[in-house]
Amino acid sequence: MAEITAALVKELREKSGAGVMDSKKALVETEGDIEKAIELLREKGMAKAAKKADRVAAEGLTGVYVDGNVAAVVEVNAETDFVAKNAQFVELVNTTAKVIAEGKP
């Protein structure tokens, strides 16, 4: 078994975007093989996403933007009203409507 060094954990984090502990656990489980560890992290990520897939995003906002004779209406949903009321979320909705109207897809 290869030694799991901080440099190895750092390399896996940079390649996968995973957290420190997840990276270390994946390396221990795959005996230091970075490629196998990346695949393991992907599988775990898919499993987490599948668990969250059935959750309802019932809160959200509608954004409207008018540019001349072109308008865009977007709806962006979130799981909680705390997120929907967040200033960053409001900005996301408004910016998305603006980009769509100006881009005229």
Domains of the chain with bracketed CATH: 6-52 (1.10.8.10), 59-103 (no CATH)
pTM: 0.51
Interval 72-98 mean pLDDT: 93
Choose among 89, 83, 64, 84: nearest CA to 74.
64
Q: What angle do CA 53, 92, 58 make, to 5 degrees?
A: 40
Let me know: does 62 contact 73? Beta carbons within 8 Å. yes
Q: Give the pLDDT of residue 61.
A: 93
Digit-coded pLDDT (tens) for 55-75: 778 899 999 999 889 999 999
Residues 19-34: tens digit of each pLDDT: 888 889 999 999 999 8
